[in-house]
A and B are shown apart, each in its own frame.
Chain A
Amino acid sequence: MRTAIEDLDVALSGRTVVSGVRIMAEEGEIAGLVGPNGSGKSTVLRTVYRHLRPHAGRVLVGGADIRALTAVQSARQVAALPQERGTDFELSVREVVAMGRTPYKRAFAGEDPTDGDAVAAALDQVGMAGAGRRRFSALSGGERQRVLLARALAQDPKVLVLDEPTNHLDVRHQVELLALLRRHRRTTLLAIHDLNAAASVCDRLHVLHGGKVVASGTPREVLTAGLLAEVFGVRAAVVDHPLTGDPLIAFDHRAPVFPVSGR
């Protein structure tokens, strides 16, 4: 469902960390948030899944302000994969995925066939159909991320919010997870560090710098040598990916970094 963040300001402990942010994802689009550490990506996403309350501005999902909804109502619209990575408690994979049904359940209610179907379908989508009984804390990093994605999918959301879902994963698991996102495409807000992955996976990119959006557009429009120098402080050439034709950023790891403006 079309998702728009309008003129968002967020202050944490009295300090403004995000201001005037406008970000948009059309229905079915994957919109990427990129930017250096501390640029405000996670903060923006946290307001979408209601961990943080915006100071000003609003988040619209399908035209409705999510702050006008109850927490449960908005959890039926927006599912998130925050940077939290799990638990020491003895939960099975299936129990973790079944948490996605939380916003649909009343107190004391048991699980009904709809819940069971949603959980099974979500596990199937991430390729973990046979793993329901395994212990979550014993999974590998890549498996954990897929299970947490399944939990978000079981929530049956209109919008997915993913905060650095490929962090700490090896290359194969990064590719696998991002391929999953493209295959089961739905409106997605994705914060991601890897600019080449962002260029391949995202339909639209928003570059954050010092709490402000400094560029928005398709990956090809946004990812230019000039922007990379100005925002990230690195020297790079943008070429065509020989296999996919997507923009491919070739960093110059020998050049000294540039000073960056802002913050």
Chain B
Amino acid sequence: MASLATDAAPGAAAEEGPGVRTVRTGWVAAGLGVALLVALTASVCLGSTQVPLADVWSAVRRGLSGSAPAPGTRDLIVWQLRVPRALLAAVVGAGLGLVGTAVQALVRNPLADPYLLGISSGASLGAVAAIVLGAGAGGLLGLGLSSAAFAGALASFALVWTVARRGGGFSPLRLVLAGVGIGQFLSGFTHYLVLQAGDEQQTHGALFWMMGSLGGAQWSTLALPTAAVLLALAVLVARARALNAMLMGDETAASLGVDVGRLRRELFVVTSLLTGVLVAVSGAIGFVGLMVPHACRMVVGGDHRRLLPVAALFGALLLVVVDVMARTALADQELPVGVVTALIGAPTLLYLLDRRLERT
């Protein structure tokens, strides 16, 4: 029977997918994979200096073989600047797609976003405190910064959680409102810290980074976010069925054998860990976590077994493309990538709000 089977695994092709869509997840994933490779290549070619495709491949081949790039050549730009930056965009984008998907399931609201829960505001405060008070500009992307951002994310999570749970009850709406309120409070602190910092250079760096930037990409900064994204993907996909059950409500999930309380705690730890690590390397890049799951759901549906891998791939693609736009939009200057995502994302949010209001 055609409607029976389909495995979640991306790449598993052919049988008819169960759902309202006609597009098969395997093809979607394959298409996104190819598009991502093309976008990564374009990202390395394009910029203040154009690099021909042939030079890109030869530089990547030499880089992969481990030979040192000759100084003064394009190899240096390609291998030391552009390639790590393109890869960081992909990793951060994938992570934002995953965090957004997880948070939306957690609060059972397709318009939620990690930023709404105040987790990224906490991460930003932790990171900015580390920049302004402690480490100088040189330590901008070190492990210390990640730890500070993670600590900030966890602390804000704990605060939001406590406020939302007061009185014993728990509702997704209460959680989101607590997140917004506490997020604003923490952002106020962050701005205060930045303005207090005397060093203009440092202030400028902190501001740029607060708007969300991939400018600090180096090979050495890639490992931690990559590991965090892969770990989060594995943890979330392992819980995909439980996430599906959560969409129907706590009672339904409990009746399906899901330990709802434990799943919630796990999701909070995973989302704050991933948010902390991502904010530490790229600052607060907004709206990707909102747009990506929404767009993917329209194509492959709401089943997390398919949604999570596709959201990671699409998030990666989106942020690589947005980064190219941020670097090439102005002739003499680079835009923070978060500025571009906000310019695309905010109207998208308004459109989604409008559509939802019409539907209900």
Chain A residues proximal to chain B, CB less than 8 Å: 13, 46, 49-51, 70-76, 78-80, 82-84, 86-92, 94-96, 98-100, 102-103, 105, 107-108, 110-113, 116-117, 119-120, 132-135, 155, 161
Contact = CB atoms under 8 A, between A and B. Distances in A.
A74 B247 contact: no
Interface in B39-94: none
A66 to B, nearest CB: 11
B264 interface: no
A95 B7 contact: no
A4 B298 CA distance: 45
B239 A111 contact: no
A140 to B, nearest CB: 15
B252 A89 contact: no
B30 interface: no
Interface stretch (B210-218, B253-261, B272-280, B333-341): B253-261
28 contacts: A51-B250, A51-B254, A71-B259, A72-B257, A75-B255, A76-B257, A79-B255, A80-B251, A82-B249, A82-B255, A89-B297, A89-B302, A91-B301, A92-B18, A92-B20, A94-B3, A95-B301, A96-B248, A99-B248, A99-B252, A99-B256, A110-B12, A113-B4, A113-B5, A116-B1, A119-B4, A132-B3, A133-B3
A163 B14 CA distance: 40
B1 A120 contact: yes
A78 B257 CA distance: 10
A65 B60 CA distance: 63
Contacts of A71: 254, 257-259
Contact of A107 (B168, B239, B249, B302): B239
Nearest to A46: B251
Interface residues of B, number: 41
Given A46-B251, A73-B257, A98-B18, 17 more contacts: A49-B255, A50-B254, A51-B255, A87-B108, A87-B248, A88-B110, A91-B303, A95-B18, A102-B242, A102-B256, A107-B239, A111-B6, A113-B5, A120-B1, A120-B3, A135-B20, A161-B255
Contacts of A105: 241
B328 interface: no
B256 A84 contact: no
B23 interface: no
Contacts of A46: 251
Interface string B281-292: 000000000000
B26 to A, nearest CB: 13
B4 A95 contact: no
A37 to B, nearest CB: 18
A83 B255 CA distance: 12
Nearest to A101: B241
B238 interface: yes
Interface of B: 1, 3-9, 12, 18-20, 108-110, 168, 237-239, 241-242, 244-245, 247-252, 254-259, 297-298, 301-303, 356
A215 to B, nearest CB: 27
A102 B20 CA distance: 21
Contacts of B19: 92, 94-95, 133
A186 to B, nearest CB: 16
A220 to B, nearest CB: 32
Contacts of B8: 110
A91 B303 CA distance: 7
A108 B302 contact: no
A58 to B, nearest CB: 18
B255 A50 contact: yes
Contacts of A76: 257
Most A Cβ at <10 Å: residue of B250, B255, B298: B255
Given A13-B168, A49-B255, A105-B241, A116 B5 contact: yes
Nearest to B300: A90
Given A111-B6, A133-B18, A133-B20, A91 B255 contact: no
B7 to A, nearest CB: 4
Contacts of A111: 4-7
A78 B255 CA distance: 7
Most A Cβ at <10 Å: residue of B8, B241, B249: B241
Contact of A84 (B237, B244, B248): B248
Nearest to A102: B256
B303 to A, nearest CB: 5
Contact of A102 (B237, B257, B301): B257
Contacts of B108: 87
Nearest to A78: B255
Contacts of A112: 5
Contacts of B255: 49-51, 75, 78-80, 82, 161
Given A74-B257, A110-B9, A134 B245 contact: no
A133 B17 CA distance: 9
B297 A90 contact: yes
Contacts of A119: 4
Given A51-B251, A95-B18, A75 B256 contact: yes
B251 A82 contact: yes
A138 B28 CA distance: 24
